[in-house]
Amino acid sequence: MADQPLIYARGLVKRFGEFTAVNGIDLDVAPGEAFGFLGPNGAGKSSTMRMIGCVSTPTAGELRILGMDAVHDGPRIRARLGVCPQLDNLDPDLTVRENLVTYARYFGLSRAESRRRADELLEFVQLGDRAGGKVEPLSGGMKRRLTIARAMVNDPDLVLLDEPTTGLDPQARHLLWERLFRLKQRGTTLVLTTHYMDEAEQLCDRLVVMDGGRIVAEGSPRSLIETYSTAEVVELRFPGMPEVGPRYAAALEGVGKRVDPLPDRVLVYVDDGDAALAEIQRRGLEPTSVLVRRSTLEDVFLHLTGRTLVD
């Protein structure tokens, strides 16, 4: 049983009336893994997370969490999960410390144990000095840290984080990432959704890209880049954009593996940026600006899920 996946899903479907949010996905998340769901809004990430969190019943398919059936063993599974929802639902009527103590009691911890955990976790998320204050005056980053502390109160085997750093400033994000990385080092399995590529690259061992309720790609950040993009990307701007874009795109054909004309610039996906620049020069093209950069998950993401705006 030791190598049994922590999350096992086959043909998982979630429908809301006519609308299919999750359309038959398979998942295997191993213990200790940091696993990410990447995808645009409406891709089905949050619906999947809610099913894994056993607060939403799958319409079809099989879902086993921690070796138990998600539909029948909901309370027993939830006892071993930590959940950090997308929107903070901390209790504004309670103090920072009381938020944690109260929450620990839902898991059946004794009052003394709940207090001990609360104090320990407040130190872990660096909120010890705010323990007696209310939640409302806390900054966005502090609230999110408190929510993560709350998710840790039952010493969970699996922590679910739905867009953990959305809306936070860079300092707050980095502090949070550092704390999540520590959790991972302790062996806690993390499952998170995000649409920040840097977050996925920082935190995830493995991730899936979702679009339209399906998994469209799966792998480590590195392998996804290798499979769906090239080592480097050359970004070129030309005078007269965007009208001249398609003409230049045609002229750049063959320089790299793929050319992607955007309204403001043309992207050329290449294995060797310098060689590509030499070729561009040889063809007599004269861009107004040139940027050679490493390919990122963002390139993978946009390639797989398209550039159409999803709201």
Partner 1 sequence: MVTTLVASRVSPGRVGAVIGRNVGALRSGPSYWIVLLSGFFEPLLYLLSIGVGVGALVGDLTVDGRTMSYASFVAPAMLAVSAMSGALAETTYNFFFKLKYMKTFEAVLATPVRPAEVAVGELVWAIVRGSLYTVIFLVVMVAMGLTEPGWALAAFPATVLVGLAFGGLGMAVSTLMRGWQDFDLMGTGQFALFLFSGTFSPVQDYPVGVEVLIQLTPLYHAVELVRGLCMGVLGWGLLGHAVYLVVLAGAGVWFASRRLTRVLCD
Is there binding between residue 261 and partner 1 (CB under 8 A)? no
Is there binding between residue 127 and partner 1 (CB under 8 A)? no
Question: Residue 81 has which token pair?
Answer: 């999960």
Pick from 166, 141, 85, 164: which is nearest to 130 by CA? 141
Round to whole Å and give the CA distance between 211 and 257: 24
Is there binding between residue 87 and partner 1 (CB under 8 A)? yes
The nearer residue to partner 1, 116 or 134, going by C-beta atoms, is 134
Identity of residue 31 = P
Is there binding between residue 56 and partner 1 (CB under 8 A)? yes
Given its phi and psi angles, is residue 99 left (phi above 0), alpha (psi -120 to 50 degrees) or beta? alpha
Is there binding between residue 250 and partner 1 (CB under 8 A)? no
Is there binding between residue 101 and partner 1 (CB under 8 A)? yes
Among 8, 35, 37, 103, binds partner 1 (CB under 8 A): 103
Among 5, 20, 31, 105, binds partner 1 (CB under 8 A): 105
Q: Which of the stretches 5-13, 26-34, 93-101, 251-259 binds partner 1 when contact is defined by CB under 8 A? A: 93-101
Q: Which of the stretches 92-100, 176-184, 242-250, 281-289 binds partner 1 when contact is defined by CB under 8 A? A: 92-100
Is there binding between residue 134 and partner 1 (CB under 8 A)? yes
Is there binding between residue 94 and partner 1 (CB under 8 A)? yes
* Least CB distance to partner 1 at residue 181 (A): 23
Residues within window 144-163 making contact with partner 1, judged by CB under 8 A = 150, 154
Q: 260 has which bridge partners?
A: 267
* Least CB distance to partner 1 at residue 208 (A): 23
Among 5, 28, 68, 107, binds partner 1 (CB under 8 A): 107
Go through 145-182 and write b for each residue having 16 or more CB atoms within 10 A of its CB, e for each that does not: bbbbbbbbbbebbbbbbbbbbbebeeebbebbbebbee
Is there binding between residue 79 and partner 1 (CB under 8 A)? yes
Q: Read out DSSP for 35-54? A: EEEE--TTSSHHHHHHHHTT
Q: Are 45 and 21 contacting, i.e. CB atoms less than 8 angstroms apart? A: no
The nearer residue to partner 1, 81 or 270, going by C-beta atoms, is 81
Residues within window 187-246 making contact with partner 1, judged by CB under 8 A = none
Q: Are 91 and 99 contacting, i.e. CB atoms less than 8 angstroms apart? A: yes
Query: Phi, psi at residue 18, to the nearest 5°?
Result: -80, -20
Is there binding between residue 169 and partner 1 (CB under 8 A)? no
Count of residues in contact with partner 1, rule CB under 8 A: 31
Q: Are 200 and 190 contacting, i.e. CB atoms less than 8 angstroms apart? A: no
- Give the dihedral sign, CA 203/207/209/214: negative
Using CB under 8 A, list all residues that contact partner 1: 16, 53, 55-57, 75-76, 78-79, 81, 83, 85, 87, 89-95, 98, 101-103, 105-108, 134, 150, 154
